[in-house]
């Protein structure tokens, strides 16, 4: 996750960080910033200054937020491979 964030331009990282902070300090947060993906997985929806759209996938467990995946959105639907990876990481972190 951190490696992916480091690949983004500084302005984009700041936007993602601000959006994540809103979720951390204001949970529960709904649309348009957060959306449930099912099975305990949620997404933070960030519109970046570089005119792209980023998604951070996270879960909430025992009052803590675990960010498990991030990517730049290229299609309308969340790619199944990204969802599968996020769900796998969520399971690993909840053990």
Distance CA 47, CA 73 (A): 10
Distance CA 70, CA 3 (A): 10
- Give, for all 95 residues of the chain, the pLDDT tens digit: 889 999 999 999 999 999 999 999 999 999 999 999 999 999 999 999 999 999 999 999 998 999 999 999 999 999 999 999 999 999 999 88
Q: What is the pLDDT of residue 16?
A: 96
The contacts of residue 94 (CB under 8 Å, 6+ apart) are 59, 61, 66
CATH number of 2-94: 3.10.450
Containing H/E element for 92? Answer: helix 80-94
Q: pTM of the prediction?
A: 0.92
């Amino acid at each position: 996750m951190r490696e992916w964030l480091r690949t983004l331009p500084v302005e984009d990282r700041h936007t993602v960080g601000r959006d994540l902070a809103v979720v951390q300090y204001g949970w529960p947060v709904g649309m348009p910033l957060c959306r449930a993906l099912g099975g305990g997985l949620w997404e933070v929806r960030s519109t970046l200054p570089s005119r792209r759209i980023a998604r951070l996938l996270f879960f909430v467990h025992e009052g803590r937020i675990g960010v498990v995946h991030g990517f730049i959105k290229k299609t309308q639907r969340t790619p199944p491979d990204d969802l599968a990876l996020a769900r796998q990481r969520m399971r690993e972190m909840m053990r």
